Amino acid sequence: MKKVFLIFGVFILINFQLISVKALENKIIYRINNEIITSYDIKKEFNYLKILNPKILNLDKSTIFEISENSIIKEKIKKIELQNYFKNLDIKDDYFEEILKNNYLRIGLNSEKEFKEYLAKSNLSIEDFRKKISIEALWTQLVYKKYIDQIKIDREEIKKQTLKELNKKLISYNISEIIFNLENKEKLEDKYQFIVEEIKKNGFGSAALIHSLSQSSNISGELGWVNENTINLNILNELKKIEIGNYTRPIIIPGGFLILKINDLKQVDNNLEIDENKQIDKIRQLKIKEQLDQFSNIYFNKIKKDLEIEKI
């Protein structure tokens, strides 16, 4: 009988120790209004970011922790705001399938099955991925509804400019971005030099992961190929001042400051033989997206100031 009690006592002690260890491993790090962020949340966020951008593995542990911490804080802030407008933070199946396919093709996988296996290696499920994608998609939808009436894009002006440049050679830029703002009386030059130090140390992509407010930060700020006729004139003028491999000084944009790096450039033909309306609409949509991204940063900064973010 004593032996049974002894075994039972040892069992309870072991379980208590396991629970204690688990509690130590999963501490509350932040409280944002009624939402909490734990050390486990941050670790899981790192696994998610690693899926989107394996380059994060090249950074040191403290930098990886900082990036993951900032990323999950941004998500929680968006989630809190979205709950004021949506009863269910989920997107439609067909829309999710489209986003899912775009993501697994971007990282070189061929099917949803392969992507599920890829996620499982980082202890993530397709449901985890869907929750995160849903928050970003619904955030974009909310920003669109709030600000679309403030966006002024003249389709006829785009058409006139496109026809003017018809059959000319255009420059297409492969670019990456960092969007940032100033907090707590920071000075622009000091913040810029701080970002430059990170660029020099670990590269532009690392600096984007750490400092950029844009949604592109999760993929090292990469925007891919953008034709010059879709770029804001003020921004284009700054790009023309630098060469491949270099980056601009901060460019003032609504909601903050922008640094752009030219990864590569090429000449492309500007012809409308395929479909004039489609090309003009494509340019218009890109210009709308550019303005919506800026409004997104303004909106995010506004709601962030109204929230109580407490580090435990």
The helix (run of H) or strand (run of E) holding residue 311 is: strand 309-311
Q: What percent of the chain has pLDDT over 90?
A: 56
- The structure tokens listed for 201 are 């140390």
Distance CA 24, CA 222 (A): 37
The predicted-structure confidence for 256-273, as pLDDT tens digits, reads as follows 999 999 999 998 876 655
CB-CB contact of 250 with 193 (8 Å): no
Give me the pLDDT at residue 188, please: 95
Q: Is the pLDDT of residue 249 over 60?
A: yes
Confidence tier at 107 by pLDDT (50, 70, 90):
confident
Q: Residue 224 pLDDT > 80, yes or no?
A: yes
Alpha-helix residue ranges (DSSP H) falling in 83-164: 93-106, 112-120, 126-147, 155-164
Nearest to 181 by CA among 236, 251, 233: 251
Burial zone of 50 (CB within 10 Å; 0-12 exposed, 13-18 middle, 19+ buried)? middle
d(CA 179, CA 268): 27
* Mean pLDDT confidence for 202-222: 90
In percent, how much of the chain has pLDDT > 70?
A: 89
CA atoms of 32 and 226, how far apart (whole Å):
37
Would you place residue 8 in the very low, low, confident or very high pLDDT band (cuts 50, 70, 90)? Answer: very low
Indicate the SS3 state at residue 197.
Answer: helix
State which H helix or E strand residue 238 sits in.
helix 233-239
Closest by Cα among 190, 268, 195, 260 to 232: 260
Give the span between the Cα atoms of 261 and 189, in whole angstroms: 18
At residue 10, the pLDDT reads 41
The answer to whether residue 235 scores a pLDDT higher than 90 is yes
**Is domain 155-282+293-305 given the CATH code 3.40.50.700 in the classification?**
no
- Tokens 């000091």 appear where? 190
Start-end of CATH 3.10.50.40 domains in the chain: 155-282+293-305
Q: What is the pLDDT of residues 132-164, one digit of tens each?
A: 999 999 999 999 999 999 988 888 888 877 776
| Contact yes or no for 209/67 (Cβ under 8 A) | yes
The answer to whether the predicted template modeling score (pTM) of the entire model surpasses 0.85 is no
Do 196 and 249 form a contact (C-beta atoms < 8 A)?
Answer: no
**Number of C-beta neighbours around residue 165 at 10 A:** 14
Which range has the worst mean pLDDT, 6-15, 177-186, 239-248? 6-15
Evaluate whether 88 touches 134 at the Cβ level (below 8 Å).
no
Three-class SS state of 214: coil
Task: Let me know: does 280 contact 162? Beta carbons within 8 Å.
Answer: yes
CA 131 → CA 96, 127, 185, 255, 301, distances in Å?
A: 10, 6, 35, 27, 23
In the prediction, which pLDDT does 146 show? 95
- Please write the tens of the pLDDT for every residue from 69-100: 999 999 999 999 999 999 999 999 999 999 99
* Amino acid letter, 167: N
Q: Is the pLDDT of residue 115 over 90?
A: yes
For residues 211 and 191, give the distance between their C-alpha atoms in angstroms, rounded to a whole number: 10
Asked if residue 166 lies in contact with residue 242, where contact means CB atoms within 8 angstroms, the answer is no
